[in-house]
Structure 1
Amino acid sequence: MIIYLVGMGCVGKTTTGRLLAEKLGFTFFDLDEEVQEFYQKPIERIQNECLTMNEFRERASVVLDQLFSRNIDCVVAGTPAGLKFAYNSVYKRHKKDKELYSIHLYDSFENVLDRLRFYDVDSNPIDEPMSPAKRKRYLRAIKADYSYFKSSYERADLQISIEHVPLHDIPELIVSELGKLQQQ
């Protein structure tokens, strides 16, 4: 079985994915990390080589295709565009012949803002102080990103809100909801 987590940036796909994979005894993959390893350079540098974000997504979807092609039980933390563009084509192709489930994780915009992390072009974390004005600007950007990707999130097999759910309880919530889906 492959569990593919999608959702906006900083919603918790990687943290949740690691915990879920550990609970299930599955292998965990973070698509961003796998893309960096495959192309041997940081994400932003790969993006800078591409003329468009769509070109970058095409390149990254090659890696997603390889992950889905492995015959192992795994959890894959995707990107905000996880069920859009080239990623969706890869997902639909593999969904035909695999036990593959997409799960859209979502939380309040304010909680996502509180998790926001920044990185330099080499994927090193950087500290960005958040003034009230910056918080307001980033909150608007988070809402705009969600609106842009919303239709792709609606394609997911499951919609799971993690708002007000303690982190250690999220994997059990996913397992429970996935079990209900499999019984249908």
Structure 2
Amino acid sequence: MIISLVGMPGGGKSTVGRALARQLGMRFVDTDAEIEARLGEAIRSFFDRSGEAAFRDIESEVLSEILAREGEFVLATGGGIVLRDANRDLLRRHSTVLYLRSTPEELFRRLRHDTQRPLLQVRDPLAKLRELYLQRNPLYRRCAHFVLETGRPSVNGLVNMALMQLELAGLVDPGRVAATVGAEKH
């Protein structure tokens, strides 16, 4: 089983993905980390030097390689991975896709001081987030098997929501996960 998380930049894919993988006893894989390892540099510097199209080509190659791997894992994807039809098809065909949906305003609150996301280094980041959301929300929904509203829940709350969806769909054995994610051990 492969569980893929999609959503806007800053939507919690890596944070929720790590926690979900830990809860399920699975490996965690992050496309951005894999891309940076391949490039030998930060995505932002490659993006600035080579442009978005070159970055998207490498992103597609890395996604294809990751989804061809053996074993179970949770995959956090980059926010723009859904821009290519082939990537959406790969994700939907080879994994269970969870869309972590956040509003542009929620994302702006989380990201207003972030200097590492190339697409947000603009004069009006909130306007950019709104533009990206209008473009990408339909694409995330098109490839997602499940949509989780990130709104106010904590990371543990989102992990619980994801586990519940996966259990209800018969994809995760209820015996495989603790009754309460994040509960204190006594």
Q: Same fold (TM over 0.5)?
A: yes
Q: 1:81, 1:152 within 8 Å by CA — same for their partners in 2? A: no
CA distance, structure 2, for counterparts of residue 142 and residue 15 of structure 1: 20
Question: What residue ranges of structure 2 are gaps of 5+ in the alignment?
Answer: 172-186
Equivalent residue number for residue 169 of structure 2: 181
Distance 1:159 1:94, change over 3 A: closer
2:106 paired residue among 102, 105, 111: 111
Partner residue of 2:53? 54
- Residue in structure 1 matched with residue 32 of structure 2 by the alignment: 32
2:5 counterpart letter in structure 1: L
Q: Where does 1:71-82 land on structure 2 (aligned, <5 Å)?
A: 71-82=70-81
Question: Given the alignment, which residue of 136, 151, 156 partners 1:149?
Answer: 136
Q: Deviations over 1:153-177 (max 9, x none)?
A: 1111111102121222211110111
Residues 40 and 179 of structure 1, relative CA distance in 2, 3 Å threshold: same
8 Å contact 1:7–1:82 — kept in the other structure? no
- Superposed displacement of residue 16, structure 1: 0.6
Question: What per-residue deviation string (whole Å, max 9, x for no partner) do you get for residues 93-133 of structure 1?
Answer: 4654x4x1111101232221121122288xxxxxx9xxxxx
Deviates further, 53-62 or 7-16: 53-62
CA distance in 1, matches of 2:168, 2:22: 21
**How far did 1:92 drift?**
2.3
Taking structure 2 as the reference length, what is the TM-score of the superposition?
0.79
Which residues of 2 match residues 1-184 of structure 1 at below 5 A?
1-50=1-50, 52-85=51-84, 88-93=85-90, 95-96=92-93, 98=94, 100-116=95-111, 117-119=114-116, 137-155=124-142, 156-182=144-170
RMSD: 2.3
Provide the secondary structure at the position in 1 that maps to 2:82: coil
Residues 177 and 42 of structure 1: CA distance in aligned 2, closer, same or farther (over 3 Å): same
Q: How many pairs does the alignment contain? A: 165
TM-score, length-scaled by structure 1: 0.80
2:107 maps to a residue whose letter is V
The residue type equivalent to 1:102 in the other structure is V
Identity %, equivalent residues: 24
Find the aligned partners of 1:138 and 1:162 in 2 and give their Cα distance.
Answer: 20
